[in-house]
Amino acid sequence: MYSALRRQVDRTPDNWVDPLPSAPSSPLEDPFHTPIETQIVLQQYESLTLDDLYQCRPPRFPDRERYALNMGLCKLFHDDWIEVDERYLAYHSVRAKILEEMGSEAIHRVSGAEEAEKELFDEVVKHLIQKHGRFFEIIQSSPHISEKDGRQYASFSPRRIRNRLTGEEYRISQPTIPSPMEIVARLCQEDFSLLVKEQDGSHRLSVSLLATLFPAAWRLRERIGWHVTDLHGTVPMWPEKLSAPVEHYFSRLSSDSNMARFAFFPVVIPAGSTPAPHTFLFAQTPEDLVPKTPPARPEEVIFRFERQIFRRLPKTSAIVFTVKTSMAPLTSLNLEDCRRLAVTVRSWPAEVAEYRGVLIWGDMVLDWCDAQQKEYME
């Protein structure tokens, strides 16, 4: 199924050749409730491997010979906010599995941000319909006729968004079923966090949907309510060099501009293990990403890439932090990627290298990259 999807997708992101035939949708059992049909999606998950999640064309590594501690931001068009790529169905199945097994660890909220949550939901639905209308559609309210005691009664089913790739439908009329944040998690490949400005002018992580798939060595429930300046407090040089500039940046971010940055980090698969995709991606501790034992083979090193986007919502002024995760094995990187990766890793100061676990995976990765370049030169 996933190989068939890949064949229908142009290699350029979001440029699809033809929409997939949609799966049959189940009829409404109740005019005011649309059940979540996840059984087919979960059955598809059972045949998934990590290979189904690897990108055909991973993002590029930075090309810097000197390490620079900055946010590395660039402007992004609104149309490019949420992506639907050739791995959508595979990631969709993983997300459904995580929601089924670890839902309470994946979606958290605190009181006082309901309006921002609703606005985010509306913005996501609007974007999916306008940008990805081949794969998502709005099902308008329709009459439902019932008969009782010889009389006919009319009621109306709520408006719904339909995922044409999976056949799933979700109510978008308020109140939504399930919650707005869970629907967003099920519709998108991205993870979402909401930063709400407090009275003292600082930003607090008030609602987070790290949308289940992909915490990167931290637990969501432990960070809910943290100020944005505290989120990266363990990163070398962050408190003294970036904490204040980041808060200043958030204060100035307008609803007219999206800003993006890209991050990467390696994940080491323990020798002899075959991790399930949902447990591999739901990494809550540093050991989930990089065990203390160095990799024995290049095939045991996988790179995770994060496409991070900051956007301010126009009505509530909350800041949406969006993260789309993708992956590629070390052995799949082309020659230019290997060159850039080696240059970047060697530019890191000692404290940054230690923080990123280079002492564990660095020799294997750099030896592989150097060997690829040497082979090309010969």
Tally Cβ neighbours within 10 Å of residue 231.
19
Q: How far apart are CA 219 and CA 221, in angstroms?
A: 6
pLDDT at 210 over 50: no
Burial of 355 (0-12, 13-18, 19+ CB in 10 A): middle
Query: Within its chain, how far is the Cα of 97 from the centroid?
Result: 15
- What percent of the chain stands above pLDDT 90? 39
Q: How far apart are CA 108 and CA 24, in angstroms?
A: 32
175: preceding bond cis by omega (within 30 degrees)? yes
Q: How far apart are CA 75 and CA 256, in angstroms?
A: 11
pLDDT at 125 over 50: yes
For residue 40, give both structure tokens.
């087919």
- Reported as a pLDDT band with limits 50, 70 and 90, residue 120 is very high
Which residue, 246, 266, 306, 194, is CA-closest to 71?
246
Alpha helix segments (H runs only) across the chain:
2-7, 39-45, 88-106, 114-131, 180-187, 220-223, 238-241, 243-252, 277-281, 286-289, 335-347, 350-355, 358-377
pLDDT at 153 over 70: no
DSSP symbols for 32-86 = TB-----HHHHHHHTT--GGGGB-SSPPPPP--SS---S---EEE-GGGSS---T
One-letter amino acid of 231: L
pLDDT at 29 over 70: no
DSSP symbols for 179-220 = -HHHHHHHH-SSEEEEEEE-TTS-EEEEEEE--SS--BSS-H
**What pLDDT score does 142 carry?**
67
For residue 228, give both structure tokens.
């944005």
Burial of 203 (0-12, 13-18, 19+ CB in 10 A): buried
Tally Cβ neighbours within 10 Å of residue 299.
12
pLDDT at 209 over 60: no
Tally Cβ neighbours within 10 Å of residue 14.
14
**Mean pLDDT value across the chain:** 79
pLDDT at 271 over 60: yes
> What residue segments make up the domains of the chain, in order of their start?
2-64+72-335
- Least confident stretch, 43-57, 137-151, 231-245: 231-245
Which residue, 141, 139, 136, 138, is CA-closest to 31?
141
**What pLDDT score does 150 carry?**
74
Q: What are phi and psi of 153, to 5 degrees?
A: -125, 140
- In terms of pTM, does the model score above 0.85? no
For residue 230, give both structure tokens.
């505290």
pLDDT in tens, 50-92: 999 998 777 888 888 888 777 778 889 999 999 999 899 999 9
**What pLDDT score does 208 carry?**
47
Higher-confidence residue of 195 and 349: namely 349
HSE-up of residue 115 (Cα within 13 Å, Cβ side)? 8
